[in-house]
């Protein structure tokens, strides 16, 4: 019968190094995360309920934070709404510029411009911005902030779509005009929803506008003005 060893063999030590402890977030990172959670929560509430039923007291619960944390970052409703619109408009700008860069045929671009503009201008957040700007009770400083935010967010979008058309062979001046007119048409229809919201009719009008722009671009191409 085999004799059992007096001592068990010593197990081999693992060559793997122990995992380093996770890096602790800085105060600035924690502050930025908290602020972002508040802005996302406010944006979601405005999107679901509209501005008329938006209550800042509900934002903290939506974000999973204390009321004190919310008030520390945004002590007033105006401050919270302005920051929320700035966040939403900036995110929309990023999405729009990516879309513009992903499409390269003029025929596809016109449809893409309309779809992108419709998503933005028909959103509750754009209507909130309009409501604040047009309200007689809005503080002038707040009104100016909203207008500045809109300019900073939308001008790069307009330029991105125009550049995409230029890349597709449309002259720069024609591209700028087509984009400006298209955005103006969509924005105008969005405002019309305030007293006459008829999605099917809007679909028809946007389809008609697409045809008009395509006919115009084809005519320009026949004249040799497009590549």
- Asked whether 39 and 84 are in contact (CB, 8 A), the reply is yes
Between 175 and 137, the more confident residue is: 175
**pTM for the structure as a whole:** 0.81
DSSP class per residue in 11-55: PPPP-SPPPPPPPPPPHHHHHHHHHHHHHHHHHHHHHHH-STT--
99 and 53, same domain (yes or no): no
51/174: higher pLDDT: 174
pLDDT at 227: 55
131 with 156, same domain: the answer is: yes
4 within domain boundaries = no
| Residue 57 shares a structural domain with residue 135 | no
Say whether both 122 and 40 belong to one domain.
no
Same domain, 40 and 145: no
In a domain, 12, yes or no: no
- pLDDT at residue 132 in the model: 86
Q: Measuring CA to CA, how many Å separate 120 from each of 124, 127, 128, 151, 209?
A: 9, 10, 12, 14, 18
Contacts of 55 (CB under 8 A, 6+ apart): 45
Domain shared by 212 and 140, yes or no = yes
Q: Per the domain annotation, does 14 fall within a domain? A: no
Q: Is residue 176 part of a domain?
A: yes
3-state secondary structure of 221: helix
**Residue tagged 């999605």 (tokens):** 199
Q: What pLDDT digit, counting tens, does each position of 16-30 carry?
A: 666 666 778 788 888
Tens of pLDDT along 173-186?
999 999 999 999 99
Query: Taking residues 92-99, what's their average pLDDT?
Result: 95
Mean pLDDT of 117-127: 94
183 part of a folded domain? yes
Please list, in sequence order, all residues whose beta carbon lies within 8 angstroms of the beta carbon of residue 75, skipping any fewer than 6 positions away: none
Asked whether residue 8 is domain-assigned, the answer is no
Among candidate residues 16, 46, 75, the one where a domain is terminated: 75
The answer, yes or no, to whether residue 195 has pLDDT greater than 80, is yes
Q: Find the CATH number of the domain harbouring 113.
A: 1.10.357.10
Tokens describing residue 135: 């309200």
54-68, 90-104, 211-225: segment of lowest average pLDDT: 211-225
Given this model, what pLDDT does residue 81 score?
92
**Is 7 a member of any domain?**
no
pLDDT the model gives residue 12:
56
Q: What is the pLDDT of residue 183?
A: 96
| Domain enclosing residue 51, as ranges | 29-75
For residues 59 and 136, membership in a common domain is answered with no
Q: What is the structure's pLDDT at 163?
A: 94
At residue 72's C-alpha, the angle toward residues 64 and 45, to 5°, is: 45
Residues 35 and 109 in one domain: no
Same domain, 63 and 111: no
Q: What is the mean pLDDT of the chain?
A: 88
Helix (H) or strand (E) holding 120: helix 106-121
Report the C-alpha gap between 147 and 17 in whole angstroms.
55
| 160 inside domain | yes
How many domains does one find in the chain? 2
Which has the minimum average pLDDT: 37-46, 133-142, 148-157, 171-180? 133-142
Residue 50 belongs to domain with CATH number: 1.10.10
Same domain, 70 and 113: no
User: CB burial class (10 A; 0-12, 13-18, 19+) of residue 76?
Assistant: exposed
Whether residue 37 sits in one domain with residue 96 = no
Distance between CA atoms of residues 227 and 115, nearest Å: 25
User: Among candidates 87, 99, 185, which has minimal Cα distance to 128?
Assistant: 87
The verdict on 68 and 81 lying in the same domain is: no
């Amino acid at each position: 019968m085999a004799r059992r060893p007096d001592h068990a063999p010593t197990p081999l030590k693992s060559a793997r190094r122990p995992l380093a402890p996770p890096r602790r977030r800085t105060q600035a990172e924690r502050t930025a995360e908290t602020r972002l959670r508040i802005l996302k929560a406010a944006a979601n509430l405005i999107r679901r309920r509209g501005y008329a039923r938006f209550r800042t007291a509900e934002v903290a619960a939506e974000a999973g934070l204390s009321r004190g944390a919310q008030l520390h970052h945004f002590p007033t409703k105006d401050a919270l709404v302005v920051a929320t619109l700035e966040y939403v408009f900036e995110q929309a700008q990023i999405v729009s510029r990516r879309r513009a860069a992903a499409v390269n045929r003029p025929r596809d671009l016109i449809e893409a411009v309309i779809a992108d503009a419709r998503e933005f201008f028909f959103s509750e957040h754009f209507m909130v911005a309009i409501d604040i700007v047009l309200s007689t009770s809005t503080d002038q400083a707040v009104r100016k902030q909203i207008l500045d935010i809109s300019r900073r967010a939308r001008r790069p979008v307009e330029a991105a779509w125009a550049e995409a058309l230029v890349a597709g062979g449309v002259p720069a001046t024609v591209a700028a005009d087509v984009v400006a007119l298209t955005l103006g048409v969509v924005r105008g229809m969005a405002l019309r929803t305030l007293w006459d919201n008829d999605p099917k009719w809007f679909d028809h009008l946007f389809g008609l506008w697409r045809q008009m722009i395509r006919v115009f671009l084809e005519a320009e191409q026949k004249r040799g003005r497009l590549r």
